[in-house]
Each structure stands twice: as C-alpha cells, then as structure tokens.
Chain A
C-alpha cells in the first residue's frame, strides 16, 4: 500500500535557523514520483519539487534543498536560513506510475512557523 508519513506536525524556528522537514514514504512500485508542495495561509498549493524514483541526486534551489534516499524511503526537505515568509504548511506527496491513474497521496503536512 502507498503511504506518506510526515511525522512532524508543527515546527517552530527562529528566523535564520535551518530547518529540515521529514518525509517517509511506502510503495511497492519501482517507478514513482515524489513531490513537495507549500501551502501558505491563502490555501493555494505552490509546487516546489518533483523527483522520480530513478533520480537520487540531491537538489538545491536557493535556500531549499532536498535529500532523496531510497534506502530509507525518505525525501527530506531543508530550508536554510529560514525567513518569516517560509511560514506555511508543507506537504510531501507520492504518485505511483504503474497504477495508471497517477493519483497523488499526500502526507499529513508539517506546519512551519518561522518567528522573527
């Protein structure tokens, strides 16, 4: 069965601190995609990154970086030098390729509060 676990319900950090959001997934598929989305208070989902199961390279985009480790089924997200504007709920999601539907399974989300 496919499942995404975001064990951290809420994290509070002080501005400029680094913070890592954890994501652990379960799937039986060998081909799948992992995503991170940001949901600010407005509610609109903001796409951050997509990773396929064959690409384990870590990625860095500005202050954001992602660590994908198939051995531990994890896809963690780190924000360096956090800012107040980073305050939002962050969702990790999984999509399996073989189902043919490419449905997204979302984790429960991590609410990040960055304090000034």
Chain B
C-alpha cells in the first residue's frame, strides 16, 4: 500500500513551453501533497505544500506564477512549469501524506520522480 505515482517519468521540452507533471496517490487519499526539486548531486528542496481544495503554500524563493500547483482531488496534484527555461531542468519529486488525528505521525510517501530537461 501507500503508492505514489508520477507522470511522466521524464520529459524534454523546448524553452518557453509549459510542462505538466502529475502526482497521484494510488491506494490512499492524500490530504496534503508536497513538491520537491532536486538538482544534480544536491539535496531535495521543498518547493510547495498543497492541500486538497485550497491554494498551495510556496516556500520562500519559489515563484508561484512559474510553478503552478493544483490539488484538485484527494488523489491528484499537478505541477505545471510555465515558460520553462534550461535552468528549470531538474528532478521533480512529489510526496503525499494522509490525514489523521492531531499528534499522529503523518508519514510522506514519495513518488518516483520526474526528470525535466529544458532545451
């Protein structure tokens, strides 16, 4: 159980175009989903937190107009990189978290990642 999928697993796009990445929780309902970015040989950096039905909360320094996040259902969140540029090339990882009573452990389940290359 607790499987998270991402689609596509890799994508190449031209500079100036937009690309959408999907994150799905396959066997559980995710009240919260997180989007991370990982540059080569670096750590995972949290980009934003999205809760189903509400606006995403972006981390400092992340452009919300460039990285559009939609969490339309309890099993799907999407990240759209708008007007992509080569510097947006990175490994994007999503994770999903179930809800629970206050004080419970809210474990995150990670997707396999999407490798974006902007040419």
Contacts and interface: CB of A to CB of B under 8 A. Distances in A.
A64 interface: no
B58 to A, nearest CB: 12
Contacts of B12: none
**B contact residues, range:** 20 to 34
Interface residues of A, number: 23
Overall SS of chain B's interface:
strand
A91 B43 CA distance: 8
A58 B38 CA distance: 30
B115 interface: yes
Most buried by A among B49, B93, B110: B110
Contact of A103 (B43, B46, B91): B46
A97 B46 contact: no
B108 A104 contact: yes
A43 interface: yes
A109 B57 CA distance: 25
B105 A107 contact: no
A60 B73 CA distance: 39
Given A104-B95, A111-B41, 20 more contacts: A33-B105, A44-B110, A44-B112, A44-B113, A45-B93, A45-B110, A50-B105, A97-B103, A101-B32, A101-B57, A102-B106, A103-B46, A103-B49, A104-B44, A104-B108, A106-B43, A106-B44, A106-B45, A108-B42, A109-B42
Interface of A: 31, 33, 37, 42-45, 47, 50, 52, 91, 95, 97, 101-109, 111
